Structure 1
Amino acid sequence: MHKPSPPLEGPDAFQDKIRIVLVETSHSGNIGAVARAMKNMGLANLWLVNPNSFPDEASYARAAGASDILDRAQVVPTLDKALEDCIVVMGTSARGRKIPWPVLPPPEAAEIAAEKSLSGPVALVFGRENHGLSNDELHLCHYHIHIPTNPDYSSLNLSMAVQIMCYELRMLFLRNLEDGKDSPYLKPMLAPGDAGWDVPPAKVGDVEGFFGHLEQTLHDVDFHRRDNPRQLMSRLRRLFQRAKLDQMEINILRGILSAVQKAAGVSGNSNSTKASTELTGQDNGHV
């Protein structure tokens, strides 16, 4: 019926302790999409309450590489059966009910779910595609989860709602890695010098060599007048300094400048041209 799935990533803390429960899902393709959303974020425990159709080709087709989540999904006739061994139940709900219930946004709901899962199974319950959970079903929940969507268009696809909660749990898991230290998975990579960048930052001397080469080239092609420089080089310096260049980028830019000088029929400053050739390793400036 389906191709084999790649394994889940390691021993994620929430794979089996937090249960995703779908109530009377109408479209089996949504079940597959939920399985995919779960596996993206490292969860694996899916329970289905009286689904309209499952298993079938549509659910496995939408699951893509998450068919193993569907293979081990628990199918039960009632919500009571899905929740009977859980210690905490959270159900997705809109605000504005006659009797207020404890309501949490997704980040806070994820924190409580993770904390309570240390003591026993925690269920996150999602209702039907067309009208969600009934009042009686919501009364089984200790907390309601409200996803603050655009009030003018608040309807979420089932898998989108599940993805939001699974994402919050994933972020919590990553933040808690390495005994509370910052997780390397969450550190930004924005510029040379950041972990994961492929080339070291350009050295000051090399950057200054580039600026000298740039000014010479602009002079060679009659774009820059040294006797009336105005603020051209200052503004270009600000531009390139803001870019936080790495060493390879300096090499590429100097190769381009050498190619411009060659195309313009000028030899350029001998020092700058020689330095560019040494940096790029190629006379034609290609890298």
Structure 2
Amino acid sequence: MPSNDCLSAFRVVLSHTSHPGNIGSTARAMKTMGLTRLYLVNPKEFPSPIATSLASSADDVLTDAIVVDSLEAALQGTTVQVAMTARRRELVQPLATPRQIAPQLLQEAERGGEVALVFGTEMSGLTIDEVRQCNRLVTIPTSPDYASLNLSQAVQVLTYELRASLDDDVSHLETPGPLAKHEHVELFLEHLESTLLTIGFLKPYAPKRLMPRLRRLYQRARLEQEEVDILRGVLRATLEYDRNAPPAVQSGAKRDHSR
């Protein structure tokens, strides 16, 4: 599988962006997914405090952005040029979705290629001439009733698919506590059975199918020690409430739920 290092082979190219906020939002979208190389073809306004504000701490992407006067200049040195387009006519190459094309692009980068992800203006996207300078076409599947994506949203979708194809393991974000030891789970189950008997939920003379089911339930859950402590606290509070509850509440609660 390609490594995270191959993302350095990707550049995002924005052609003739009219609103600086979209440049800033694009920088944020890129950095979130591990891409940092931004090329701007004749932006209407850049640098801009609006772009910096919407970059949300991705200022380094903006600072290092390369401004050029033509798409041809932005594509120099690349081996694969991916045009984001929704055009259907006058295009001979097949369209792929971001999910379909992402693994191919990562393989190209791993082999030492340079990949450009090319996006057009907010209003009309890439021109036909710009699309023809690219050797891959990609489009984002959207609802047929409303196919309107903001420029930075489109960048986010494509760069996310690259990231997901590269590494979709988020286990490092989890902070699980230590699992409860066998004896502590057993003590909890004894505590649970005792409590259910005390409050009348479980009848000692009835067939005992409920406790084996509850045992299976909690064993499947792989309880953490803190969770066992919480559950036992709930049981203690239940007994305390049962002792202090008014007689009418006690009689209403003690119904036969035996299994």
Match of 1:160 among 143, 149, 153: 153
Structure that is richer in helix per residue: 2
- Residue 235 (structure 1) shift: 4.4
Larger displacement relative to structure 2 (255-264 or 21-30)? 255-264
Does residue 146 in structure 1 map to residue 139 in structure 2? Answer: yes
Give the match for residue 103 of structure 1: 95
Return the letter of the residue paired with 2:103. Answer: E
Alignment of 1:177-196 (within 5 A): 186=169, 188=171
Give the match for residue 240 of structure 1: 218
Shift in alpha-carbon separation, 1:95–1:24, aligned structure 2, 3 A: closer
Match of 1:206 among 156, 159, 184: 184
Shift in alpha-carbon separation, 1:257–1:62, aligned structure 2, 3 A: same
- Residue 83 (structure 1) shift: 1.4
Higher relative contact order (CA 8 A, sep 6+): 2
Q: CA RMSD in A?
A: 2.5
Percent same amino acid at aligned positions?
44
Does residue 253 in structure 1 map to residue 238 in structure 2? Answer: no
Give the match for residue 275 of structure 1: none
| Contact 1:12 1:42 survives alignment (8 Å) | no
Q: Which runs of 5+ in 2 are unaligned?
A: 245-259
Return the letter of the residue paired with 1:146. Answer: T
> TM-score if structure 1 supplies the norm length?
0.75
CA distance, structure 2, for counterparts of residue 78 and residue 187 of structure 1: 39
Larger displacement relative to structure 2 (253-262 or 62-71)? 253-262
Shift in alpha-carbon separation, 1:203–1:50, aligned structure 2, 3 A: same
Give the match for residue 10 of structure 2: 18
- Residue 231 (structure 1) shift: 4.5
Return the letter of the residue paired with 1:60. Answer: T
Return the letter of the residue paired with 2:57. Answer: G
Larger displacement relative to structure 2 (220-229 or 29-38)? 220-229
CA distance, structure 2, for counterparts of residue 73 and residue 261 of structure 1: 66
CA distance, structure 2, for counterparts of residue 84 and residue 201 of structure 1: 55
| Deviation readout 1:20-77 (Å, 9 max, x if unpaired) | 0001111110100000011111111100111111111110000011011001111112
Match of 1:42 among 30, 34, 43: 34
| Deviation readout 1:82-103 (Å, 9 max, x if unpaired) | 1133222110112532443132
Q: Which runs of 5+ in 1 are unaligned?
A: 1-10, 175-184, 190-194, 267-287
Shift in alpha-carbon separation, 1:229–1:216, aligned structure 2, 3 A: farther
Give the match for residue 46 of structure 2: 54
CA distance, structure 2, for counterparts of residue 142 and residue 204 of structure 1: 60
Find the residue that maps to 2:43 and give its secondary structure: coil
> TM-score if structure 2 supplies the norm length?
0.82
| Deviation readout 1:237-280 (Å, 9 max, x if unpaired) | 344334331222112211221233244349xxxxxxxxxxxxxx
The count of residues paired between Structure 1 and Structure 2 equals 240
| Contact 1:38 1:166 survives alignment (8 Å) | yes
| Deviation readout 1:80-125 (Å, 9 max, x if unpaired) | 2211332221101125324431322213322232233343422110
